[in-house]
Structure 1
Amino acid sequence: MTTNDTQASAPAGGPDLRARRKVILSAMLGNVVEYYDFSLYGTLAVIISHQFFPSGDTMVGLMSAYAGVVLAYALRPLAGMVLGPLADLKGRRFVLILTIVVMSVGTAGIGLLPTYAAIGVAAPVLILFFRMLQGIGASVEYTTAANFIFEHERGNRRNYLAGLSVASTSVGPLLATLVSFAVISAMPTEAFESWGWRIPFLFAIPMALVGVYIRRHVDETPEFKQMAALAEQNQVVQTPFRTAVREHWGAMLRAIGLGAGQRVGSFVIQAYFVTAMINAGFAASNALLASLLTYAIGPVPAVWGGKLADRYGGRVPLIVGYGVFVLVTVPTFMAIGSGSLTLAVIAVVVFTFINNFVGAPLTTAYVMSFPPEVRASASALNYNIGTTALGSTAGLIAVWLFGLTGTNTAFGWYMTAICILSILVAIFAMPPAVDEHRRAAVAES
């Protein structure tokens, strides 16, 4: 079965309006759960370091907690090698139900886990195990959800739909921060550190139940159905992972380089800004409030960037967004260390605005750079390699550089260099899929 065969047989029309809305809702809700889970761990990293790791050196405990972030993401490429091909073979919907269940078991497990004081060394071992479950579940969630949306509705608003997907990734952290802030504000510090911190983790259970219910009541994508039917009719032995690696490694490398700066920025927002502000002397409640504001504004630039990418092509928002990142990243960390809460809040909000602004065309590049028969495998692999190598290590590198230099500015220079790399890819090696649908629309007009 060839790519052209599959694309030629793609349906001309999409599902009705109600069905399209259900598809978008089901995909976005999974993103909400994924990013709730992961950002919650980063948001409460300081508390986790106290609860599940030996007391003594605060920096060692915090770095151990961030090691859980790295471990969860280190597993993502490996899990993606299994679940990505599974989505190409068994269906996007099947894998989307599986991922939301596994992610939520990991999150709820952390909320039920006894502390280091209760069970000793088993506590850090078990928390790392549950982080592994989160990493496995999240390995293909975002890319498969975006794929699910694209394959149900492939018109001239691809980047807009990608922007909605990116916007949903702000809703999860927003909920995580809101729930954490509400619990912290509602009870004494001693009670929160004793047992109250468990509440935000257990909140993942009802979210997951709603997500599974909705995903069970949406149809598989028409494009996957036709691809599977052609493979069965022609008796094709499908090897999506091997085909992706052998025939599409160049496109995967371009996607990884293009998204490098945003991957670092995303995990700074999700897993480090709160810690950086606390280290700079701000109260934990103020740090959480700043984090809350970043997630509240996150959906706006995501959708705006998607609309601009559909109108002018993906290269424009990417070069503009990364260019601004180069200018403001170091000043952002200088503002956090200034001692001024106003400056720190403005800095992290602007940082988040830029990071989400470039998200839609990046999502299109991650997913649509590949033909349908290997799309889930290739998108999971390129997204997770970039996320693991660059994103998941951001918090750990930031903590290490802070301990080495006594300032967060050093990490700002690190991220600036990564953003320059992404600008070069956008200028000289842009994946064609980012602008492909726009060129088609122009040709038709």
Structure 2
Amino acid sequence: MDTADAAPRAAAPARSTRRRVYASTMIGNVVEYYDFTLYGTLAAVLAKLFFPSGDGLVALFSTYVGVSLSYFIRPLGAVLLGPLADRRGRRGVLILTLSLMSVGTAGIGLLPTYAAIGAAAPVLLLLSRVLQGLGASVEYTTAAQFLLEHEPGSRRRNYLAGLMNATCSVGSLLGSGVAFVLTVVMPTATFDSWGWRIPFLLAIPMAFIGFYIRNRLDETPEFEQMKRQVDAVEAKQTPLRDAVRLYWRDMLKAIGLGAGQRIGSYTIQAYLVTALISAGFPTSLALLASMLTYAVGPLPSVWGGVLADRYGARLPLLVGYGLFMALTVPTFMAIGSSSIVLATLAVVVFTVLNNLVAAPLNVACVLSFPPEVRSSAAALNFNVGTSLIGSTAGLVAVWLHDLTGSDVSFGWYMTAACAVSALVAVFALPEAVDYREPDWASGNIGTAVVGESDHGRPAR
């Protein structure tokens, strides 16, 4: 793109502002993944507390319905909150998402159990999961926009996206770590009685920290520039309609590209612990293996971003998905073995591969769209893919395990999804689009100019 035609870019933020921006996006990711990992980690405990105890499989399956429900509600959250971020700003929506997630998580810690109020207990549990899902629906994509739009024209955007993904591992590590410590130091009867509530209630102080940081930040320069143009000509914004009308192909590409990683992320956050316990390993060792995966997760997240910035997105995507196809089935074979060392090594390798591809996926999800529709388009493609592909993984895994008696069949299911994503990476990799400033007066919005720079990096 001719630089003479390019819209003026805001200057890079000052170091103090950059630190606050980083902290504001990271605290939200920590809270989101703390919440979701905690629920998945304690799924076996919650199944006994909130559902009838007659059939353990049905209770566990019902608990995972709660996980899936929180994902199924996400497209609705994307439709409601994505356009709000495009019209009113990213910062206000980030405060709202943190509120919803925190209320949902703390609410679980305050709920009476099935033994106390009967059938109302699982209903209230699922309602809490709905609140978590609504909050999480646009938290990650809006936080990514907030970070990247504060660094306009940055040539390290994949690195920044990888850094964001790394904080997801921090939240998951914190959630599984708190659960592990409590299960070790508390007698089982005490933990099952009331100790399980503690990790959920810890979401309250974490939320207050997030509110403090986010309330001290300004809106992103790109959003403010776009909003000034809209206000100057009194144009009517219809970001959701325009995103679907103009960018549906890019959204479908992003969904296909992330299919394998969506299943992988869900498996790490909510199913690996259950799979290890079902294979006969003690709960404490299963939690310890899970914690190890989160501890090693940040490094490949950042490394994948660095590789994508230097050599283009296809390199980490094809390496990651290629190894996933080769190693996913052996991973679940190792989980079914009698060796905790082999099983732990397998899930650590699984996590490294999953995080390696995260950064370019996040950039494709968010920056493939111009600012006037970015929140709507990113939220929609991310949440449709997560809901339809990622959130159903636990239900498929439980069903396949009951059908075959092994998790290897689920490994083949994920291998097929990774093959689809690899094909998208080869033949239809979404290009992050640069854009010319929209002509609001004529209604010509969303006009994009796709450019490709050296090493396959989209030009900015």
Which interval holds the TM-score relative to the shorter structure? Answer: over 0.9
Trace 1:170-319 onto structure 2 (pairs within 5 A): 170-319=169-318
Trace 1:34-433 onto structure 2 (pairs within 5 A): 34-154=32-152, 155-433=154-432
Shift of 1:24: 1.2
41-50 vs 425-434, which moves further: 425-434
Percent pairwise identity:
63
Shift of 1:14: 1.2
* Cα distance in 2 for residues equivalent to 1:61 and 1:136: 24
Deviations for 1:290-317, whole angstroms, at most 9, x for unmatched residues? Answer: 0000000000000000000000001110
Q: One-letter code of the match for 1:30?
A: G
Deviations for 1:343-390, whole angstroms, at most 9, x for unmatched residues? Answer: 000000000000000000000000001111000000000000000001
- Misfit runs of 4+, over 4 Å: 434-438, 440-444
* Cα distance in 1 for residues equivalent to 2:433 and 2:306: 13
Whose helix fraction is larger, Structure 1's or Structure 2's?
A: 1
- Tell me the secondary structure at the aligned position of residue 430 of structure 1: coil
29-38 vs 8-17, which moves further: 8-17
Q: One-letter code of the match for 1:141?
A: E
- TM-score for both structures, normalised by structure 1: 0.97
* Cα distance in 2 for residues equivalent to 1:440 and 1:434: 15
* Cα distance in 2 for residues equivalent to 1:48 and 1:443: 46
* Cα distance in 2 for residues equivalent to 1:10 and 1:417: 44
Change (3 A) 1:98 1:10: farther
- Tell me the secondary structure at the aligned position of residue 229 of structure 1: helix
- Is the 2:369–2:433 contact (alpha carbons within 8 Å) kept by the matching residues of 1? no
| Residue aligning to 2:440 | none
* Cα distance in 1 for residues equivalent to 2:110 and 2:178: 17
- Is the 2:99–2:207 contact (alpha carbons within 8 Å) kept by the matching residues of 1? yes
Shift of 1:11: 2.5
* Cα distance in 2 for residues equivalent to 1:286 and 1:53: 25
Shift of 1:438: 7.5
* Cα distance in 1 for residues equivalent to 2:162 and 2:253: 20
* Cα distance in 2 for residues equivalent to 1:325 and 1:440: 28
Deviations for 1:233-277, whole angstroms, at most 9, x for unmatched residues? Answer: 011100000101111100000000000000000000000000000
| Residue aligning to 1:439 | 453
- Tell me the secondary structure at the aligned position of residue 372 of structure 1: coil
Deviations for 1:76-135, whole angstroms, at most 9, x for unmatched residues? Answer: 001110100000001000000000011000000000000000000000000000000000
* Cα distance in 1 for residues equivalent to 2:215 and 2:451: 30
| Residue aligning to 2:12 | 14
Change (3 A) 1:58 1:10: farther
| Residue aligning to 2:438 | none
274-283 vs 430-439, which moves further: 430-439
9-18 vs 97-106, which moves further: 9-18
Shift of 1:433: 1.3
Deviations for 1:168-198, whole angstroms, at most 9, x for unmatched residues? Answer: 1101110001100111111100000111000
Q: One-letter code of the match for 2:351?
A: T
1:28 aligns with 2:42: no
Runs of 5+ in structure 2 lacking a partner?
A: 435-449
- TM-score for both structures, normalised by structure 2: 0.93
Change (3 A) 1:438 1:24: farther
* Cα distance in 2 for residues equivalent to 1:26 and 1:34: 13
Shift of 1:434: 8.6
Please, what is the CA RMSD of the aligned residues?
A: 1.8
Change (3 A) 1:198 1:438: farther
Aligned residue pairs: how many? 441
Shift of 1:221: 0.1
Shift of 1:8: 4.0
Shift of 1:440: 6.7
